[in-house]
Structure 1
Amino acid sequence: MASKRNPNGAGSIWRRRDGRYEARVYVPQPDGTRKRKTVYGSTWDECDAKRQELVLRDRQGIPTPTRSAKLSEWLPYWLEQFVKGELKRTTYAKYETHVRLYLIPHIGSKRLETLGAADVRRMLAAISDQVSAATAKESHRVLRSALTAACREELISRNVVKLVPAPRVQPRELRPWDLDQTLTFLEAARRDPLYAAFVLAVALGLRRGEVLGLRWSDIDLERRTLTVRNQIQRVQNELYADSTKNRRTRVIPLPLMCVPALRWQRLRQAAQRLAAAERWHETDYVFTTRTGRTIEPMNLSRSFQRISDGVGLPRIRLHDARHGCATLLFAAGVPARVVMEILGHSQIAVTMNIYTHVSDDHRREAMGHMDRLLRRRRPE
């Protein structure tokens, strides 16, 4: 058979002494280097087809390991190529933490093709003992996502993590403030510079980052509407503006109680602008420092905690005020779909399963209905 030539850089094919054909092509590795990959075929055409597949993967930037990559090689590559730039920076930071602290230390020496279900189970047990079942469950999710990408890249034929159930986690019991406690907090917060921020968190159920990401251009006090389109986040020592959690913008009607608080905030900020003079940084954010800079999210939480502790309220997180908002809305008879839109959930199941809490009074009232419905009929 006549010898055929391939273009430069596309590898080469030759016939071996045993009659088979062999081709070698330089291909990218998961760690970014390039190494030579060898393929074989019983005929020239079969070997050439395998060579062309390697060349195509190379041109598409798809890694083809000359040997099964270790988890310590694949996981950092997956973070950079599949997570960074595709998902939110907060998600990347969380995944990177699990890869660095838990996955690589426990299974980094394992190769993709040799990782077994038993290895995954041992890893999860070790993380549960080391930290918590909740952390192990999150590591399970991160590893499953990383190996799903490896399956799509045809580096492995199956995802063994799917064979191992994630650890069961006892959900944290949430006890948001009731109506009287919420009113007590708002009364105590009136003297705080961030009073308007707390009003929005309590009355609208805004997330902490969404409160700090509000701009005056997002608020129409005449029409009493507020548009949530941004949030402020701190990730890896950097404070930055980001889109909302589910990347969706939502418009919320403003309750009357929010209007005076926001007008007071505008007057207060104008006074700060005059006092700061040339040191003022114009950002259009509703809530800023004395020089117009973005407020640290943790500082908002600290102020919330200081006020609630000062009046002896049960200690909850600022985010728990969001849970309380949902509960109050449901108690007022607001439909679940409307509550979902106000809170900015992507699925109504989140609203129903997590953000609603039934009080003893409501349970007692419900059972009172059963008394009336099921009481024995009086004899005629």
Structure 2
Amino acid sequence: MSTRKLLTNGNAFKRTDNRWGGVVWYMDEQDERKRKSFSGTTKAEVNKKMTEYIASFNDSIIESQETKKRLKDSMQNWLEVFKFPSVERTTYDRYECTAKNQIYPYIGEKVVGDIKSADIKKLLNDKMNEGYAYTTVKKVHNVLNEYFRYLTQQEYIDRNPMISAPMIKKSNFLAAQDKENLPTSETITIFTPEGHRSA
């Protein structure tokens, strides 16, 4: 299926009834030539309508292109274009490392518009069951959360799948891995007679 595209930027003309008309030609998804007609009492009114239509037409093309991309292409673009200039280099490297190692191999080939909360939950649960550290899985959740928030803010997607895919509670996460959730303050350091620390 092709992407819709504009063929003209709109032409305004005086009609026989002394009103103004306008037409914008475009190619639809089936490669058929179509037109959108406008009318108004003045040329300026018609031009304004055509300008607004063209702007919304272009926005819808960008939106459909973004939601049809593979997640790894869309997310990598988001990282490089939006994240890189706004964070410290070490932070960016951590984001990119998380994306490339923990996200792309699992859901990177999925189409952005097809990703559901269940896909996110499965990714987080799989990481937990594979024995990854809580902090690692939390980084995965954070990157996905920021990325999908960006898509929602830009109105590329209607619903953010992260809303129904919260981060697993730490106590539940560690219990699933048969690990205790000890606060740092309860960690006991034992010194040997030589003064060396031992675990």
Q: Tell me if both proteins adopt one fold, taking TM over 0.5 as the criterion.
A: yes
What percent of counterpart residues are identical? 18
Match of 2:152, SS state, is helix
Q: How far 1:167 sits from its partner (Å)? A: 1.3
For 2:112, give the aligned amino acid. Answer: L
Q: How far 1:153 sits from its partner (Å)? A: 1.9
Q: How far 1:49 sits from its partner (Å)? A: 2.5
Q: How far 1:160 sits from its partner (Å)? A: 0.7
Question: What is the match of residue 77 of structure 2?
Answer: 77
Change (3 A) 1:89 1:54: farther
Change (3 A) 1:53 1:126: same
Counterpart contact for 1:133–1:169, Cα < 8 Å = yes
Counterpart contact for 1:22–1:47, Cα < 8 Å = no
After the TM superposition, which residues 262-301 of structure 1 pair with which residues of structure 2 at under 5 Å, given as runs?
Answer: none
Change (3 A) 1:22 1:102: farther
- The question of 1:23 aligning with 2:56 is answered no
**Greater relative contact order: 1 or 2 (C-alpha under 8 angstroms, separation 6 or more)?**
2
Q: How far 1:76 sits from its partner (Å)? A: 0.4
Q: Distance in 1 between matches of 2:83 and 2:182?
A: 29
Structure 2: 5+ residue stretches without partners: 1-5, 11-22, 39-45, 172-180
Change (3 A) 1:42 1:147: same
Question: What is the match of residue 51 of structure 1?
Answer: 54
For 2:183, give the aligned amino acid. Answer: E
RMSD of equivalent CA atoms? 3.9
Question: What is the match of residue 123 of structure 1?
Answer: 123
After the TM superposition, which residues 1-380 of structure 1 pair with which residues of structure 2 at under 5 Å, given as runs?
Answer: 12=8, 22-23=25-26, 42-44=36-38, 48-53=51-56, 64-66=63-65, 68-130=68-130, 131-170=132-171, 171=181, 173-175=183-185, 311-314=195-198
Q: Deviations over 1:7-53 (max 9, x none)?
A: xxx85158xxxxx95436xxxxxxxxxxxxx9x77534666523234
Change (3 A) 1:51 1:126: same
Match of 2:26, SS state, is strand
Q: How far 1:173 sits from its partner (Å)? A: 2.9
Change (3 A) 1:158 1:177: closer
For 2:197, give the aligned amino acid. Answer: L
For these two proteins, the number of residue pairs brought into alignment is 157
Q: Distance in 2 between matches of 1:96 and 1:42?
A: 43
Change (3 A) 1:117 1:23: same
What TM-score do you get using the length of structure 2 for normalisation?
0.62
Counterpart contact for 2:138–2:167, Cα < 8 Å = yes
Instruction: Give the structure with the higher percent helix.
Output: 2
For 2:167, give the aligned amino acid. Answer: A
Q: Deviations over 1:109-167 (max 9, x none)?
A: 22222111111111111121232343222211110100111112221112111211211
* Structure having the higher Rg: 1
Match of 1:23, SS state, is strand
Structure 1: 5+ residue stretches without partners: 1-9, 15-19, 25-37, 58-62, 185-307, 316-380
